[in-house]
Structure 1
Amino acid sequence: MKRHSLSYDVHFTGRLWTALSLVIICAVPAAVCAYLGVWPDGKLVAAGILKVGIIYIPIGIIEAVTFGPILGPSASYLAFITGNLTNLKIPCALNALKTAGFESGTAEGEILSTLSVAVSTLVTTAMLCAGVLLLVPLTPFLSSPVLAPAFANVIPALFGALGYMFISQNWKISVLPLAFVFILYVSLPVGIAQTISGALIPVSVAVTAAGARFLYKRNIV
């Protein structure tokens, strides 16, 4: 009974704060528009949302289905409200679980995931504040030609490290999706590959799930 009550409280609080976060996010630009007396064209806004939604709505659904079992309810609500799941919250939670020796889906794992996501959020907020305060003094140094190659490779380095972390956990499962994506991008023109990269995420997830199921049925993994 206590477990059911606690689960209800977690979901109620999580949904409440998610709704409040959406209201705040929408309230800030609405307040600016109301103050200046200038409102964007509804058709242009709808067209922009449609273009972005085609990519990010499937990604959001996939992240909720994929990351929810890993984090648990409490950490999931906190992570989705604060953002940066793939490149920050998930690696932090997985590393904490691996270091402590707990598994996802357990009560201990859920508590540890929530704490790791919370600490990650606080550290990120502190770093963003420091970045905003130091942006002007450090601009000459950051715009130096010597550092230009480093900044140009931040995203490849970030996702390369994340890819290694996930692939190293079970490299057999990663062979099929990596081969699928590699062959697809090599065979497609560069412009088309870049355009459909976001839409290929659910396709890649389906290929990965199918490959993992095949390997599991053959007792390979």
Structure 2
Amino acid sequence: MGAAKKFAEIDPQVYENEFSRPIHKVGMVTCGLAIIGMFLPPVWLYLQYGVFPPISAIMVGMGLALTYAVPFFIIEPISYYPTLGDAGTYMSFLAGNISNMRLPCAAVAQSVAGVEEGTKEGELIATVGIAISIWLSIIAVFIGAVATGFFVQFFPAWLQDAFKKFLLPAVFGAVFGQFALRGMKYAPIALILALVPLLLKWKAYVVIPIAVFGTIIIGRFIYQATKKSA
């Protein structure tokens, strides 16, 4: 008996009216306020001290940032949404640390609860998992900021170097393994589509679209072929 059987049947209309619509209203307001808040420090510096960078410097900086970031603006919401859901997407993009914190927490919560991503049950579980991860992150960051600076100085150089080089890949590997176990026939495709461009030393903004959309397209063909033969 899977954990998913414990969920009561969800009325689509009630779900839409009492969960999805309020989420979008609150999400747009909070994200809008966050965008405004990002501009408050430079505006305050200008009003208080008259400090303002040249327009040419701003345009150059924006151009460099957008060149790298625009592909991720498109890829990340599409690829993360099935797992995060509406509420999880708003919270994750507002809080940050999506790939190394919010997405793994949502995936693990769904796995433990026995629900699938892309379902209403999965979205509810992901919302709870992400919300808890945000609060725990606040506590952990506060404690970590205070304690890490003290303890890191006692770590041997090799251990500090290992943390810098392998901590994030280890997190990504764990997330990949989590999803690979739920679709073993798709995992090699994702690995190949990501590994080949990396070996060719292509840029990340090229590798990620190939890996994400290539896996989706090929996986869809495999799913349809498997469905027809079944």
Instruction: Compute the TM-score of the two structures, normalised by the length of structure 1.
Output: 0.84
Q: 1:150 aligns with which of 158, 162, 169?
A: 162
Q: 1:204 and 1:103, CA in 2 relative to 1: closer, same or farther beyond 3 A?
A: closer
Aligned runs of 1:14-163 on 2, under 5 Å?
A: 14-142=27-155, 144-151=156-163, 152-163=165-176
Q: Cα RMSD over matched residues?
A: 2.4
Q: 1:213 aligns with which of 179, 196, 220?
A: 220
Letter in 1 for 2:93: F
Q: Secondary structure at 1:153's aligned position in 2?
A: helix
Unaligned runs of 5+ in 1: none
Q: What is the distance in 1 between the residues matched to 2:137 and 2:183?
A: 29
Q: Secondary structure at 1:147's aligned position in 2?
A: helix
Question: Is the CA contact (8 Å cut-off) linking 1:54 and 1:199 kept in structure 2?
Answer: no
Give the CA deviation at 1:120: 0.3
Q: What is the distance in 1 between the residues matched to 2:111 and 2:207?
A: 30
Give the CA deviation at 1:2: 4.7
Letter in 1 for 2:180: I
Letter in 2 for 1:204: A
Q: Which residue of 2 aligns with 1:183?
A: 196
Question: Is the CA contact (8 Å cut-off) linking 1:97 and 1:103 kept in structure 2?
Answer: yes
Give the CA deviation at 1:88: 1.0
Q: What is the distance in 2 between the residues matched to 1:24 and 1:197?
A: 29
Larger deviation, residues 33-42 vs 21-30: 33-42
Give the CA deviation at 1:83: 1.2
Give the CA deviation at 1:208: 0.9
Q: 1:176 and 1:4, CA in 2 relative to 1: closer, same or farther beyond 3 A?
A: closer
Q: 1:13 and 1:171, CA in 2 relative to 1: closer, same or farther beyond 3 A?
A: same
Q: 1:156 and 1:105, CA in 2 relative to 1: closer, same or farther beyond 3 A?
A: closer
Per-residue CA deviation, residues 129-175 of structure 1 (Å, 9 max, x unaligned), is: 11222244234224x32423322322222222222223232232122
The share of aligned pairs that are identical, in percent, is: 27
Give the CA deviation at 1:3: 4.3
Q: What is the distance in 1 between the residues matched to 2:107 and 2:134?
A: 15
Q: 1:198 aligns with which of 201, 205, 213?
A: 205
Give the CA deviation at 1:17: 0.4
Q: What is the distance in 1 between the residues matched to 2:184 and 2:116?
A: 19
Letter in 2 for 1:158: V
Unaligned runs of 5+ in 2: 1-12
Instruction: Compute the TM-score of the two structures, normalised by the length of structure 2.
Output: 0.81
Letter in 1 for 2:139: A
Q: What is the distance in 1 between the residues matched to 2:84 and 2:171?
A: 21
Between the two proteins, the alignment pairs up a number of residues equal to 214
